[in-house]
Amino acid sequence: MMFDIFKKSASAQRTPEDWYILNQRAELSEDECLEFLAWLQEDPQNERAYEKVERTSHLMRDAAADNELKHQRSEHRENKYPIQAWAPALAASVAFLVLSTVIFLFASSDRNNFHTDVGEQKIVVLDDGSLVRLNTSTDVYVNFDEFQRRIVLNSGEAYFDVKKDPQARPFLVEIDSMVVRAVGTEFNIHHTDDATSVDVLEGVVEVLKKDSGAVPAAKLSEISEGFKVIIQPDGAVGELVSADVMKINAWTDGRLEFDSDRLALVVDEFNRYSKTKIVIADETLGNFLISGSFVIGGSEEFAHGLEDVFPIVVVRRQNELILMSAAQPLENNRPG
C-alpha cells in the first residue's frame, strides 16, 4: 500500500522524511508526538536533517509553482503565435508519454557527485538553497567550502537557480578551462564536445578563464538577462546573441519546443532523451520544418506521428526508428 512506510513499529527508526510527512498530515498520536520529540533530542543531527527535509520540501513546492507559471506563459505564447497548420494534426495523432523521471535530491558532505542517465532528469537542492536542474546525460560535481560555492559541469546540461549567499561566497561553475561566475541569478549551461552554450534568464553572469595559479582569472565575457554566448572547445568566446529562453523553459518543464526548426535538428533533440534513436535515411527529409510543443521521451510516438503529416514511412530496426521517403516503393524502403 502507498502509506505502508507509516505503519512502522515503535522499535523501527523513522527517517526525517517520515517524520516530516507525518507532521504535514497532522496524524501524530500523543505517543508519536512524544516519540518525535525524543527523536529530535536523541541526536543534534536529527534536528538538522529534519530542517533540511523541510527546506527541500518548500523548494520543491516553489519549483512546482515556477513550472506551472512557465506552462501558463507557454500556453499564452502558443495562442499568440499559432504554429503551422499541420501541427494540430500531428498533435492529434500522437499520444505522448513522459518517459523521463524527475527526482529531487539534496547535496550533502558525503555525496557530491550527481549524474543522470539518458532520458533522466534530476533536481539537486544545494546547501545554500540554490537549485540545480540536471538534464539528460549530465554529470556534475558539487564542492562548497567557506570561501566559495563551486560546481564542475563535466558533461551535459544544467539549469542553475542561484540564491544569494549570506557569506557572500561566489557561485562558480567550471567547464573545462572556463569558469562561469554568478550571484543571485538564473542561467543554463549546455556542455558538449563541440561547444558550450551559456544562456542567462535572470541577472548577470561572467565568463572567466580558469585561474592558472600565478595568473589571475581573466574576464572574457559578461552576459546579461536574455542573452547567451557560445564557447568553443579551444576557449574562444562568441559574441552576445539572444538566449534560447523558450527551449530552456521547455526542457525544465519536461517538454521540447520547436519553432520552424528543421526535422534533422528536431531528431537530434529527441535522440538526446531516448535510447531508441531516430535515424533519417533520406537526408532530404531533414529539411521539413517542425513547430510545436512535445513531451520529452516520446520518440516512437513522434516518429509515427510524422507519417500522418509528411510523406514519411517509419521502419523499426532493433533500437532504431528509420525515417524513409514514402515516395519510394515500400519494398525499397526496407533497411538493409
pLDDT, tens digit only, all 336 positions of the chain: 222 323 333 334 677 766 766 676 555 677 777 887 888 888 777 777 777 666 655 555 555 455 555 555 545 444 433 434 344 444 433 433 333 445 556 565 556 899 999 999 998 888 888 999 999 999 999 999 889 999 999 999 999 999 988 888 999 999 988 999 997 799 999 999 999 999 999 999 999 988 765 545 788 899 999 999 999 998 899 999 999 999 999 998 888 999 889 999 999 999 999 999 999 999 899 999 998 888 888 888 899 889 888 899 999 998 899 999 987 655 544 444
- pLDDT computed for residue 15 by the predictor: 72
> Of how many residues is the chain composed?
336
Q: What are phi and psi of 246, to 5 degrees?
A: -60, -45
* 254-333 carries CATH number 3.30.200.20: no
Could you tell me which residues come within 8 angstroms of residue 160 by beta carbon, excluding any fewer than 6 positions away? 130, 131, 132, 133, 151, 171, 173, 182, 185, 186, 187, 188, 189
Taking Cα atoms as reference points, which of 227, 265, 269, 266 lies closest to residue 244?
227
Could you please state the CATH topology (level 3) that the domain comprising 101-247 is classified under.
Jelly Rolls (2.60.120)
Give the pLDDT of residue 135.
Answer: 96
- At 82 the pLDDT is 40
| CB-based contacts of 4, cutoff 8 Å, min separation 6 | none
Q: What is the pLDDT of residue 180?
A: 94
Specify the pLDDT at position 240. Answer: 96
Beta strands in the chain (DSSP E): 102-106, 113-115, 121-125, 131-134, 139-144, 149-161, 171-175, 178-182, 186-191, 196-202, 204-209, 218-224, 227-231, 241-242, 255-262, 277-280, 289-295, 312-317, 320-325
Tell me what pLDDT residue 184 has.
Answer: 74
Where do the structural domains in the chain lie, given as residue ranges? 4-62, 101-247, 254-333
Asked if 53 and 17 count as a contact pair (C-beta separation under 8 A), the reply is: yes
CB of 126 within 8 A of CB of 132?
yes
pLDDT of 328 reads 64
CA diameter of the chain: 76
Residue 336 is predicted with a pLDDT of 46
What is the pLDDT at residue 213?
A: 57
- Tell me which residue of 139, 144, 136, 137 sits closest to 162, measured CA to CA: 144
Distance from CA of residue 336 to its chain's centroid?
Answer: 37
Number of Cα atoms under 13 Å in the Cβ half of residue 185: 23
